[in-house]
Homo-oligomer: A and B are copies of this chain.
Amino acid sequence: MRVVVHEEKIDKFDLQIIKLLSKNARLNYRQLAEYLNTTRQRVSRRLERLEREGIIKKYTIIPDFDRLGYIYVILGITLTPGTSIDEQIEILKNDENVKVMERAIGAHNLVVHLLVPKDMKEIEKKITEITGRLKNVEKVDVTFITEVVKFELV
């Protein structure tokens, strides 16, 4: 059986909703309708489609990691050519310190974002442990985020 997923085009109205929610994900249907000069019904219908089709993947918050007691570390990982990225993703996927993981091409094949309690010994241990579990690591670029200066997706 072949499953045909019908993906509708994204229009200007969808993009307007997405932009507003990326600035404030807590806007309700009424507020969105007011901003866009339309009805609540029209907003809710579109928003349900955007969620159903996975165009909006997640509603989330950006916290102040520093105030929460964490250091935000990005590992830019380069694997030796021919290594299965899927396998490496499986190895790290359920690690509780791994918060964001991105498959990539270019300078790095895998970008791993860690939140680690503020303790440099703990951080060293965690980075060593994580990179040690991966196979065929050619290079790891370790970057410590000290401040999120801008965050405006879309």
A interface residues (Cβ-Cβ under 8 A, vs B): 7, 10, 15, 18, 21-26, 53-64, 67-69, 74, 76, 89, 93, 98-108, 111, 115, 141-154
Contact = CB atoms under 8 A, between A and B. Distances in A.
Given A104-B143, A111-B143, A145-B104, A22 B63 contact: yes
B152 A76 contact: no
Contacts of A24: 59-60
A106 B140 CA distance: 11
A interface: dominant SS: strand
B59 A149 contact: no
Given A102-B147, A108-B143, A55 B74 contact: no
B107 A143 contact: yes
21 contacts: A7-B67, A10-B67, A22-B60, A22-B63, A23-B60, A24-B60, A26-B26, A54-B67, A56-B62, A57-B148, A61-B154, A68-B154, A76-B107, A93-B149, A99-B152, A100-B150, A103-B146, A104-B146, A106-B141, A106-B142, A111-B145
Nearest to A7: B67
A99 B104 CA distance: 18
B93 A67 contact: no
